[in-house]
A and B are shown apart, each in its own frame.
Chain A
C-alpha cells in the first residue's frame, strides 16, 4: 500500500529556533499533502493543504508566516516551524494523497516537537 515517510520522528529545540519537518510519499506521486497538528488526547486539526507547485492553503487561525509549507515536488512537502515557542510543542502529522485528494489519505508517523 501507499507509504508516507515523515522525518524526524522526534525533535527538541530551543525557543526562537526553526525546525523543518519533511514528509515524503515513497511509492506514489502526492499531488496533495496535508499537515495536521494533534494536541494531547485530541483529534487532528488541519493546518494547511499544499498542492505541488503552488502556494499552500492555510486553515483559519493558522499563521502562514510561522508555519511555512513548501511542496516543491510530487514526493516531498516540508513544514518549517519558524521562531518556535513552547506553545508550538505538539505532534505534527502529514498525510498525502494522489488525484487531488480523491483517494484515501495515507499518513506519516508523525513528529513530536518539543520546544524548550
Chain B
C-alpha cells in the first residue's frame, strides 16, 4: 500500500536553514502537503504543492518536489525557536479524500 516516510528528528541552530525530507511510494499522488504540529495541538497546514509543480515558495518556506524520485522536502529559512514542532508530510491522490501521513519529523531549534 501507500507509504510516506520521514526521518524522525532534526536539530538545527537558530538562524540556520532547516530541511525536512519526505519520501512517498504512491506514484499517483497528486497533492502533497506539509503540516506543523505543536505540543498538545492539532495540525496546522503550512503549505501544499501539486504534483505538476517542482517548487513552491512562501515567505520562509520552500517546498521542492522531485516526482521522479518521489521525494518532497520542506526548507525553512532563518529557523526560529518558534519553529520547533513536529512536521508531517502527507499525500493524496486525485479522486480520493484519503490523506496518507508520514511519521512526522521532530524539529528542535537550538538557541
Bound together, the chains give a CA A97 to CA B92 distance in angstroms of 13
Given contacts A97-B97, A104-B48, contact A109 B42 (CB under 8 A): yes
Chain A residues within 8 Å of B, Cβ to Cβ: 1, 4, 6, 32, 34, 42-44, 46, 49, 93, 95, 97, 100-102, 104-110, 112
A93 touches B42 (CB 8 A): yes
Per the CB 8 Å criterion, the residue count for chain B at the interface is: 19
Given known contacts A43-B88, A43-B101, A43-B102, is B43 in contact with A112 (CB within 8 Å)? no
CB distance from B107 to the nearest CB of A (A): 14
Residues of chain B whose beta carbon lies under 8 Å from any beta carbon of chain A = 31, 33, 35, 40-45, 48, 88, 96-99, 101-104
A42 touches B103 (CB 8 A): yes
Is the Cβ of B103 less than 8 Å from the Cβ of A105? no
Q: Is the beta-carbon distance between B48 and A108 smaller than 8 angstroms?
A: no
Query: Which residues from chain B contact A102 at a C-beta distance below 8 Å?
Result: 97
A4, A100, A110 — most chain B CB neighbours (10 Å):
A110
Please, how many angstroms separate the alpha-carbon atoms of A110 and B38 in the complex? Answer: 11
Measured between beta carbons, the chain A residues less than 8 angstroms from B31 are: 104
CA A4 to CA B98, docked complex, whole Å: 18
B6's nearest neighbour on chain A, judged by CB, is A43
Bound complex: CA of A50 vs CA of B99, how far in Å? 14
